[in-house]
A and B are shown apart, each in its own frame.
Chain A
């Protein structure tokens, strides 16, 4: 069964303290891996799509990387406004268009 696991469930950082969030996946065939940010009471906001092992993408203080089994979201020198839930999702090969989401990592950045 296709599965996505995110860790840690929650992470508390001091402003400027860099860290990484993990997303491990088990799928029959990966079409794409997605990272989203979700603020309380809002829908997920698209961040990145990664398609193949070794691929990296960056946006401001965020950098996403992909291997054959997992993805990391690196947060460099975070600010309080980076506080949110970060969701990872996969899309598998085959006749499907659905995304399979993990349960997310709740990030709190304290000033």
Chain B
């Protein structure tokens, strides 16, 4: 499978718990992105990695959110002390290093429900 893989597909957690999501991008893609999508809305940008370097972060990425991409391969997104407002679909995307957002490929997302 050469697509973007995200795990888990679904996560239900209690408010206040920490959660971690994983994204495995297309192997030859240097660029990796995290987005968040709530019902009826378009995806909102969270953060961007070029290889292992986190180069851009949205104001949406509060102190409770942290993302890593060790060795420039897979990435993890952790949310600490989850709140009900964190319930959303978390999407990962990757693209080749051609610039201009060419050919972003999205994964199927991780749906987070905070109860």
Q: Taking beta carbons and an 8 Å cutoff, which residues of A are in contact with B?
A: 4, 31-32, 34, 36, 41-46, 49, 51, 87, 89, 91, 96-104
Chain B CB within 10 A, most for which of A31, A51, A98? A98
A43 contacts B100, CB within 8 Å?
no
Residues of A within 8 A of B4 (CB): 43
B109 contacts A43, CB within 8 Å?
yes
Complex Cα gap A101–B106 (Å) = 14
B85 within 8 A of A: no
A99 contacts B45, CB within 8 Å?
yes
A-B pairs with beta carbons under 8 Å apart, 7 shown: A32-B102, A42-B108, A43-B91, A43-B109, A44-B91, A49-B102, A91-B101
Complex Cα gap A46–B91 (Å) = 14
CB contact between B42 and one of A46, A89, A91 (< 8 Å): that residue: A89
B105 within 8 A of A: yes
